[in-house]
Amino acid sequence: MPTDSATSIAVPSPKIVDRLPPHVFFLVSAVFHYLGPSFAVLLFASLAPPGVAWLRIASAGLIFAIWRRPWRTFATLASRDMAIIVALGVVLAAMNTLFYEAIARLPLATVGAIEFLGPITVAAYGVRARRNLLALVLAVAGIFVLTDIRIAGEPLGYVFAFTNCALFMGYIILGHHISSGGAGVSGIDRLGCAMLVATIAALPFGLDSALPAFSNPLLLAAAIGVGVSSSVIPYVCDQLAMSRLPRASFALLLSLLPASATVIGFIVLRQVPSLTELAGIALVIAGVALHRTYKS
């Protein structure tokens, strides 16, 4: 781990990180995953979805650039590691852009339900026991109850949503590849490299739509908020969790995100969940509790 001033405050000391269960980092990620859209509401009122996506990615990329100086470590990596980082950066760029395109056309709950088909598929691939199969069934049932999927609306919106779902699986798989670190480069430093790649990859699709924000300080401030809460904090916490959890276990834990959205909606927005939604939350939590982690 580099020890210069730019990285000395990068993350909590290894002793603190190792002392905390990986689920703690996941829960932090789950909370901030839904604070981002609250900032994005302001941006959607003034900017097209690709512009919002690029501002989110670019804000996160700038923060990683200042914080981690990832270009220093990228040059030291083997060609295979470089290829994985570039692939992850392209996936992040496309995933975020298509997510915003989808929620501009379809209800967020519907897009979220489709998106979580990806993690569930990854979790299913990693099932090694009947206990985990039952856990997976409970989590899927909980997601279905929570989101109440309705196949209606704009066909193009569903194309974006299902493509985003596939990319989300790619994020989980590639994210686990970089989380192991190696060659003296941490997973977070590799993530910083990927965010810079994502900033460049999304540039042709989002810059033109993002230009109005550069003359409006409020929009820029909101974009930074979106980048921090939607990309920096969750992705860093994901890395800290991924480095200590098998891929299938992490994928199943992602099933908690619809439940966390309901809890945040109740606390922040005073949106009281219905009995049906509470039943869905209970099913998801039961699935996560029943799931047994295996060493990868």
DSSP symbols for 194-231: HHHHHHHHHHHHHHHHHGGGGG-HHHHHHHHHHHIIII
Residue 8 has what pLDDT? 38
- Which tokens in the block code for residue 112? 């979220």
Highest mean pLDDT among 11-15, 61-65, 273-277: 61-65
Residue 91 has what pLDDT? 97
Q: In whole angstroms, what is the distance from residue 36 CA to residue 164 CA? A: 17
Q: Would you say residue 14 has pLDDT above 60? A: no
Q: Would you say residue 269 has pLDDT above 70? A: no
Phi-psi region of 153 (alpha: psi -120 to 50; beta: other; left: phi over 0): left
Mean pLDDT calculated for residue range 194-202: 96
Residue 40 has what pLDDT? 75
- Which tokens in the block code for residue 152? 């209606």
Residue type, 15: K
Q: In whole angstroms, what is the distance from residue 42 CA to residue 36 CA? A: 11
Q: 275-295: buried (b, 16+ CB within 10 Å) or exposed (e) per residue?
A: eebeebbebbbbbbebbebee
For 92-123, how does the pLDDT look when each residue is reduced to its tens digit (9 = 90+)? 999 999 999 988 888 776 777 777 777 777 77
Q: Let me know how long the chain is.
A: 296
Mean pLDDT calculated for residue range 18-24: 80
pTM score of the predicted model: 0.79
Residue 277 has what pLDDT? 74
